[in-house]
């Protein structure tokens, strides 16, 4: 068994400034060398072709850097059949979405249903009809491309929504309609102290770069703690817990305060990064948190709506943020009542806030942000390389995997650059390109060959006479001993190999337009599969030897003395 990748075609030059769209990549997993040879010759003009002779080799190619766009998968193969290959593809998140078309000579409704139930996209029966195969490939590649465009669009739209809202919309548990409800939430406000004044003389691009790096880090922490990220307002962030998903009022409050502590700690690494970029100002964030009943849902109009929160408790969280000192987290008495015993906090003097007639009791959370983190953070930022590792956030279970990934990166950096290799010419390259470049006459075309329907076989080779002649030569040289191999397998009690040999001969014989051999091979294959006695198998085997011998003798006599071969 072998596994090889198809060669890269010579492409016509394109005008400067234009880009040639990459050709779809087809992975063929097929144990018959002749069928692989045929498929590569048929597909290589339209697609980039990858070839694998066995299931394990095909699975390795499917997860390689050259990920296929579609897979043509033979059903009957030794060691690992197509059904098992399909199951493994479906269990791997890297390959589960690749369309798979079965290539099969089985043809029964039960076998077809089995493959479709396992996730096959379609079936193409052997002998392969090139127009049918090309039409199915075109159809499923277009469907796959359309599905990828929809997925990409959905992912882009999801970036404008909180992940929980996006998920609930796509699951159908939430509708895009104006509707609100009253729920007890924990609300978070933060901003960068004196950011506007500190960056007043900066260029807009510099402000954008700093803000985006800040928002990226804070958003990642919010997602880690299950927060609903409401909006960015200038340098401020509005977040809440409790809708559309909730862990319970107390746990929501705890998660919010834990998130705030993580954000304050994360600012140390961000300041290091900014200093490496030449930004020497000491930016610090202040945070306010409050818990209480808010109106949450879709506000706006039928043309434009926004999923957000409103209410007095939202305003209170904003006022606490404004009253906090740089690097501080202020929480209301309501939030403190929910988190005390789990989160340390000290009472502060009550705060007088705009819109509130009474002083507001507040508590300052123990953040530990002032502790040295030099031993817990690794930071490197230079052209082509940026590494930020917060050891406090890497779990013990993930450390070994993280270390292995870093070692792999190090090996790639230390490895000498490799020259780009040119793939060797494939069998189909030699046959088709050699025939096209030849100045001599085309090999003589036989008028008739016993045991062969030449017109049918030529149609199955897309009318390409050099390819068809090459297939006949390969068949003559490679299949004449198949009955002896079947007999040897039966003598050894290797029923599976005997059945596969008969099956493979049947498929290839039908592909080249043989008249008697496919039926004789099928009868033997079925009898072996059904466990017929050896005497019956010998009768069928003798019949196959006769028809195959007649065909091979005709090919010996009728093909050119030196057929075009790879």
Cα–Cα distance between 301 and 166 in angstroms, integer?
A: 19
Query: Is 330 exposed, middle or buried, given 0-12, 13-18 or 19+ CB atoms closer than 10 A?
Result: buried
Sign of the C-alpha dihedral computed for residues 501, 503, 506 and 511 taken in this order: negative
Q: What is the pLDDT of residue 1?
A: 42
Cα–Cα distance between 335 and 96 in angstroms, integer?
A: 45
CB atoms within 10 A of CB 197: 8
Domains, the chain, ordered by start: 20-158 (3.40.50.2300), 167-371 (3.30.70.1230), 427-558 (1.20.120)
293 near 311, Cβ under 8 Å? yes
Q: What is the CA radius of gyration of the chain?
A: 34
Q: What is the pLDDT of residue 438?
A: 42
Residue 179 backbone phi and psi in degrees, to 5: -165, 140
Place of tokens 């139930």: 117
Per-residue pLDDT of the chain (566 residues; tens, 9 = 90+): 444 444 444 334 444 444 566 889 999 999 999 999 999 999 998 999 999 999 999 999 999 999 999 999 998 888 898 899 999 999 999 999 899 999 887 655 666 677 777 778 888 888 998 999 999 999 999 998 888 888 787 777 766 666 666 666 666 556 556 677 899 999 999 999 888 888 888 888 888 888 888 999 999 999 999 999 999 998 999 999 998 889 999 999 999 999 999 999 999 888 888 887 777 777 899 999 999 999 998 887 777 778 889 999 999 999 999 999 999 999 999 999 999 999 999 999 998 888 888 899 999 999 864 443 444 556 565 556 666 676 666 666 667 777 777 777 777 777 766 544 444 444 444 444 444 444 445 556 777 888 999 999 999 888 888 899 899 999 999 999 999 999 999 999 999 999 999 999 999 999 999 999 999 999 999 999 999 999 999 999 999 999 999 999 999 988 875 544 44
Residue 48 backbone phi and psi in degrees, to 5: -85, 125
SS3 313: helix
């Amino acid at each position: 068994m072998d596994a090889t990748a198809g060669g890269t075609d010579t492409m016509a030059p394109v005008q400067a400034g234009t880009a040639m769209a990459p050709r779809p990549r087809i992975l063929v997993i097929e144990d018959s060398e002749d069928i692989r040879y045929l498929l590569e010759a048929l597909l290589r003009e339209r697609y980039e072709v990858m070839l694998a002779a066995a299931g394990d080799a095909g699975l390795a190619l499917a997860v390689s850097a050259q990920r296929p766009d579609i897979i043509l998968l033979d059903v009957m193969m030794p060691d690992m059949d197509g059904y098992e290959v399909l199951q493994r593809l479906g269990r791997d998140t890297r390959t589960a979405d690749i369309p798979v078309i079965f290539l099969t000579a089985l043809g029964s409704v039960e076998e077809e249903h089995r493959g479709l139930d396992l996730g096959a996209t379609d079936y193409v029966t052997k002998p392969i009809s090139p127009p049918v195969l090309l039409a199915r490939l075109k159809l499923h590649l277009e469907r796959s491309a359309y599905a990828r465009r929809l997925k990409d669009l959905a992912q882009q739209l999801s970036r404008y929504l909180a992940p929980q809202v996006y998920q609930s919309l796509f699951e159908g548990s939430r509708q895009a309609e104006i509707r609100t409800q009253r729920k007890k939430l924990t609300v978070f406000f933060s901003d960068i102290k004196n950011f506007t004044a500190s960056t007043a003389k900066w260029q807009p691009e510099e402000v954008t770069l700093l803000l985006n790096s800040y928002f990226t880090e804070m958003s990642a922490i919010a997602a880690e703690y299950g927060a609903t990220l409401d909006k960015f307002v200038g340098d401020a962030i509005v977040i809440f817990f409790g809708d559309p998903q909730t862990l319970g009022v107390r746990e929501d409050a705890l998660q919010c305060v834990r998130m705030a502590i993580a954000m304050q700690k994360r600012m140390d690494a961000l300041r290091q990064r900014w200093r490496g970029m030449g930004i020497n100002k000491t930016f610090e964030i202040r945070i306010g948190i409050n818990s209480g009943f808010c109106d949450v849902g879709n506000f706006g109009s039928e043309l434009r709506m926004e999923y957000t929160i409103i209410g007095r408790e939202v305003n209170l969280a904003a006022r606490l943020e404004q009253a906090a000192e740089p690097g501080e987290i202020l929480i209301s008495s309501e939030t403190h009542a929910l988190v005390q015993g789990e989160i340390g906090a000290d009472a502060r003097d009550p705060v007088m806030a705009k819109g509130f007639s009474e002083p507001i009791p507040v508590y300052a959370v123990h953040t530990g942000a002032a502790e040295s983190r030099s031993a817990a953070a690794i930071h490197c930022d230079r052209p082509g390389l940026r590494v930020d590792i917060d050891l406090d956030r890497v779990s013990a279970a993930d450390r070994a995997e993280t270390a292995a990934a870093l070692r792999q990166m190090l090996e790639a950096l230390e490895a000498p650059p490799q020259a780009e290799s040119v793939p060797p010419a494939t069998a189909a390259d030699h046959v088709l390109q050699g025939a096209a470049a030849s100045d001599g006459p085309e090999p003589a075309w036989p008028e008739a060959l016993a045991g062969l329907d030449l017109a049918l076989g030529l149609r199955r080779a897309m009318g390409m006479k050099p390819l068809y002649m090459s297939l006949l030569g390969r068949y003559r040289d490679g299949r004449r001993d198949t009955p002896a191999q079947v007999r040897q397998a039966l003598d050894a009690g290797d029923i599976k190999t005997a059945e596969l040999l008969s099956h493979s001969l049947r498929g290839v014989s039908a592909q080249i337009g043989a008249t008697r051999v496919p039926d004789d091979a099928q009868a033997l294959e079925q009898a072996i599969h059904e466990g017929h006695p050896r005497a019956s198998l010998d009768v069928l085997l003798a019949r196959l030897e006769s028809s195959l011998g007649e065909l091979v003798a005709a090919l010996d006599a009728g093909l050119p003395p030196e057929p075009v071969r790879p």
